[in-house]
Structure 1
Amino acid sequence: MASLPTERQRQIASFLRSESRERGIAPTQREIAERFGFASLNSVRSHLRLMEKKGMLNRLPGKARGLELKKRPVIGIPLVGRIAAGHPRLASEDEGEIVPVSPDLFPGSDLFALRVKGESMKDDGILPGDIAVMARQNDVAEGEIAAVLLDDEATLKHIYRPRGKVVLRGANPAFPDIVIRDGQSGSVRILGKYVGLIRTQGAAR
């Protein structure tokens, strides 16, 4: 799961960038603590550790000013609407928003994103407010998670194909399976395969 930087982490990155540009050196951890009012260096180290994990910077061991922001290529994934992880709901065709990500985070070249509503996939760690990243394709393997269009409504579910029917199954026992029997399967269209998740600050925990 990819995790977006918090507002504070973006502020720290901006401070690192401006200090390095204006002074020619990165700030120390103590200078970062003073700039943002952290009570201890442990808070600074925690932020820097998470920023390193998110691919925002390199920490050079043994150097007081050993902080180096990474210059990483970015691609934009179109956010095309909302998808229900619960009962099917209509996903809008185009919200006009682009989600910037590193190109090595998600496999596939034809990607799109949908914002999750509902809790039927919560046991798979997919929560309301999350951004589900999808690879555009019209079929998936048995049991994989897909964005599915069902009678003009979109939902995010595991797909199973027992004999004579299609079953859309969530990851929350409170939500029953959606069963499409023979003769109705033409109303089901796979929009894409789920390949990963971006969790924003506003997502449910």
Structure 2
Amino acid sequence: MAVKLTERQQQILELIRSEITRTGFPPTRAEIARALGFKSANAAEDHLKALARKGAIELTPGASRGIRLTDASPVATAPAPTLIEQASSALSQLLVPLVGRVAAGNPILAAEHVEREIGIEPSLFNQTPDYLLRVRGLSMRDAGILDGDLLAVKKSPDARNGQIIVARIGDEVTVKRFARAGKHIELLPENPDFEPIIVTAADEFSIEGIAVGLIRNTPLH
């Protein structure tokens, strides 16, 4: 049965879908409030809870970007693709390596780290990713990045303040938010249970890439 939404709920759902398509991440409550002219993030939260009750989205408690579209989310209908269109779509997919656990000291894209190649639609991301990295742990939970998710990464040796990056510190690889503070760099988690990592000139540090999107790899319940 189709989910019936109010006009405002439909606007919020389209905003969520648009942001996921554009950036790979859902918007925060504050971003929804700003975009739709609400006086506070609490108003956005009320509408999100209503959407969750109707089964259009799922919410992750305590995560600012913990919004997940469900199979019940209403979408505009379109004619079924022809066999030629299906074949064209398959050929247009980009094959990118899926990187699992990274062994200490080895390059991320070393052959032993690549589990398989996955076909993705390039239009899903505003920048074409070079690889997908399987996320380990919950240090970026409040950015909507959960354990088991596939982080789409564009290789880059540099980053701007606020970007989510894949970084190497010594022999370890981590996903954190990048912040330059004076003469040192801070790698910030998005979970209060984790401490920031302070990088100084004495540390072996490099940026492996910038996050350009996310693919949720866990089944909906």
Name the counterpart of 1:131: 150
> Structure 1 residue 108: deviation in Å?
3.4
Match in the other structure for 2:173: 154
Across the aligned residues of Structure 1 and Structure 2, the Cα RMSD in angstroms comes to 3.1
CA distance in 2, matches of 1:47, 1:202: 11
Taking a change above 3 Å as real, the CA distance of residues 81 and 168 of structure 1, as seen in their structure-2 partners, is same
Question: Aligned runs of 1:1-205 on 2, under 5 Å?
Answer: 1=20, 59-60=78-79, 67-68=80-81, 71=86, 72=89, 73-82=92-101, 93=110, 94-109=113-128, 111-181=130-200, 183-185=201-203, 187-202=204-219
**Higher Cα Rg: structure 1 or 2?**
1
Matched to 1:196, the amino acid is: G
Helix, strand or coil at the partner of 1:191 = strand
**What's the TM-score, normalizing by structure 2?**
0.56
| Percent identity of equivalent pairs | 28
Contact 1:135/1:192 (<8 A) preserved: yes
Match of 2:54 in 1: none
- CA drift of 1:109 comes to 4.3
Q: Is the 8 A contact 1:133 1:194 kept in 2?
A: yes
The alignment covers a number of residue pairs equal to 145
Consecutive unaligned residues of structure 2, counting only runs of 5 or more, are 1-19, 25-69
Q: Could you tell me how far 1:82 is from its partner in structure 2?
A: 3.5
Tell me the TM-score normalised to structure 1 length. Answer: 0.60
Query: Could you say what secondary structure the match of 2:123 adopts?
Result: coil
Which residue does 1:21 correspond to in 2? Answer: none
Unaligned runs of 5+ in 1: 4-45, 61-66
- The residue identity in structure 2 corresponding to 1:127 is L
Distance 1:162 1:142, change over 3 A: same
Q: Which has the higher helix share?
A: 2
Partner of 1:7: none
Mapped contact 1:82–1:92 kept (Cα < 8 A): no
Cα 1:131/1:47, change in 2 over 3 Å: closer
Contact 1:148 1:157 in 2 (8 A): yes
